[in-house]
């Protein structure tokens, strides 16, 4: 009689799988920033620490009704602008500083060279798949109690209709914002991510028109932030620090501006305030940046962080035991 599923538990396995997926997501965000020059072993170590330690702390502190940032400050982050995106973006920034730029990215005078991607169509398809995934991710941030009542993780009532429509508004506003700022197809599609991340923290409560406006602002700021990083000599290969880190900050602070005073309904959780969101954003930036920076410097000191220039010039495929592109001519540099 003790065999079989616990018919009273419809959530534990789902949440375990979802949080495991979010752990993988944090590592995938970092991976875009550091591609084309990081050693595979170093990346695996960084990914494990980010996904199994840093992200878990962020979720425990700010993405649970009992988290200290929630109970002390009323921190609100429905769609994880902070606990996933700020964490990942600034962890990546911490890694990029000791990792350094790709070969050929910067000239001796500090000016930057544009390194073109291998395939713009494949890049666009990949970004579209990420946008599709956001519908599942953000819908999965709601909790259904079996009584026709959906809530956010903090106990605030919401609906799937709200989440779906505001996700669409985030996509549209971000893409149009990036188009206005750049006219660049890569950034226009990345703008969908800028928009969604810029509204994710408070999208369970926003009016759709407000969602669009915030997302449009995120679409303007995302590419600008990427340009500022380049001027600082930081080589973020896909703009992940800006798309996730900078726009994540926008998302957390926007919730502090537009839903200040909004009750969270769960026991012992203060109302949302701008200062609570502001302090929460600072915690997320530091929690992401400091471990990434320290661990990357330790790996650099051990001589295992960065691939040699010759390997970079040939391609990082030489680190795997097979030919990723068998039609290409590979040179043995062992």
- Tokens, residue 94: 């911490």
The share of the chain scoring above pLDDT 70, in percent, equals: 94
Q: Which residues neighbour 163 within 8 Å (Cβ) at sequence distance 6 or greater?
A: 138, 139, 141, 142, 203, 204
Query: What pLDDT was estimated at residue 157?
Result: 85
Among the listed residues 141, 17, 21, the one whose alpha carbon sits nearest the alpha carbon of residue 81: 141
The dihedral through the CA atoms of 197, 200, 203, 206 has a sign that is negative
Query: What pLDDT was estimated at residue 68?
Result: 95
State yes or no: pLDDT of 326 exceeds 90. no
Angle formed by the axes of helices 87-99 and 55-62, to 10°?
150
Query: What pLDDT was estimated at residue 266?
Result: 72
Summarised one tens digit per residue, pLDDT across range 212-258 is 999 999 999 999 999 999 999 999 999 999 999 999 999 999 999 99
Query: What pLDDT was estimated at residue 2?
Result: 61
SS3 151: strand
Measured between alpha carbons, how far is 307 from 56 in angstroms, rounded to an integer? 29
Summarised one tens digit per residue, pLDDT across range 166-221 is 999 999 999 999 999 999 999 999 999 999 999 999 999 999 999 999 999 999 99
Position 32 confidence tier, pLDDT thresholds 50, 70, 90: very high
């Amino acid at each position: 009689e003790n065999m079989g599923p616990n018919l009273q538990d419809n959530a534990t396995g789902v949440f375990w799988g979802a949080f495991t997926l979010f752990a993988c997501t944090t590592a995938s965000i970092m991976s875009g920033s550091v591609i084309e020059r990081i050693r595979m072993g170093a990346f695996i170590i960084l990914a494990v620490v980010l996904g199994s330690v840093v992200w878990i702390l962020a979720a425990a502190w700010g993405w649970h009704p009992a988290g200290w940032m929630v109970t002390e400050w009323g921190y609100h982050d429905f769609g994880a602008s902070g606990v996933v995106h700020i964490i990942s973006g600034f962890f990546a920034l911490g890694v990029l500083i000791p990792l350094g730029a790709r070969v050929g990215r910067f000239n001796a005078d500090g000016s930057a060279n544009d390194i073109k991607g291998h395939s713009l169509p494949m890049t666009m398809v990949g970004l579209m798949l990420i946008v599709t995934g956001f519908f599942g991710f953000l819908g999965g941030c709601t909790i259904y109690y079996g009584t026709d009542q959906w809530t956010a993780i903090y106990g605030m009532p919401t609906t799937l209709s709200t989440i779906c429509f505001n996700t669409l508004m985030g996509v549209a506003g971000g893409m149009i914002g990036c188009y206005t700022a750049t006219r660049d197809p890569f950034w226009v599609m990345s703008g969908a991510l800028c928009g969604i991340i810029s509204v994710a923290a408070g999208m369970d409560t926003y009016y759709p028109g407000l969602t669009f406006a915030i997302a449009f602002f995120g679409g303007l700021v995302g590419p600008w932030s990427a340009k500022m990083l380049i001027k600082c000599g930081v080589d973020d290969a896909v703009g992940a620090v800006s798309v996730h880190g900078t726009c994540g900050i926008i998302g957390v602070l926007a919730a502090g501006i537009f839903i200040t005073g909004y009750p969270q309904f769960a026991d012992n959780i203060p109302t949302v305030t701008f200062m609570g969101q502001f302090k929460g954003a600072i915690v997320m930036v530091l929690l992401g940046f400091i471990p990434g920076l320290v661990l990357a410097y330790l790996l650099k000191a051990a001589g295992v962080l960065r691939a040699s220039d010759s390997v970079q010039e040939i391609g990082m495929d030489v680190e795997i035991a097979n030919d990723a592109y068998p039609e290409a001519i590979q040179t043995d540099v062992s």
